[in-house]
């Protein structure tokens, strides 16, 4: 994985981790459910991270099986 991709992945993971930590705190301390929009935003970040990681995997598979 290139350094740029690694930095992007790290950035996504840091943001997701922070958001999930805040949601967990709300649940544990205040007994409140997180805002639906916050949950959707974290879900979108996870999708973006999956897309970022999947691009490389799909390219690898295409290169590996491109001869068939």
pLDDT in tens, 13-63: 888 888 888 888 888 888 888 788 888 888 888 888 888 787 655 555 555
pLDDT at 65 over 80: no
Per-residue pLDDT averaged across 4-19, rounded? 85
So what's the pLDDT on residue 59?
A: 54
For the whole prediction, is pTM greater than 0.75?
A: no
What number of CA atoms fall less than 13 Å from residue 4's CA on the CB side?
A: 1
So what's the pLDDT on residue 68?
A: 43
Q: How far apart are CA 12 and CA 5, in angstroms?
A: 11
């Amino acid at each position: 994985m290139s350094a740029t991709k690694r930095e992007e992945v790290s950035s996504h993971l840091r943001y997701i981790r922070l958001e999930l930590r805040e949601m967990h705190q709300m649940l544990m301390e205040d007994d409140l459910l997180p805002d639906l929009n916050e949950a959707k935003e974290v879900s979108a970040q996870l999708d973006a991270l999956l897309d970022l990681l999947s691009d490389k995997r799909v390219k690898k598979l295409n290169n590996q099986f491109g001869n068939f």
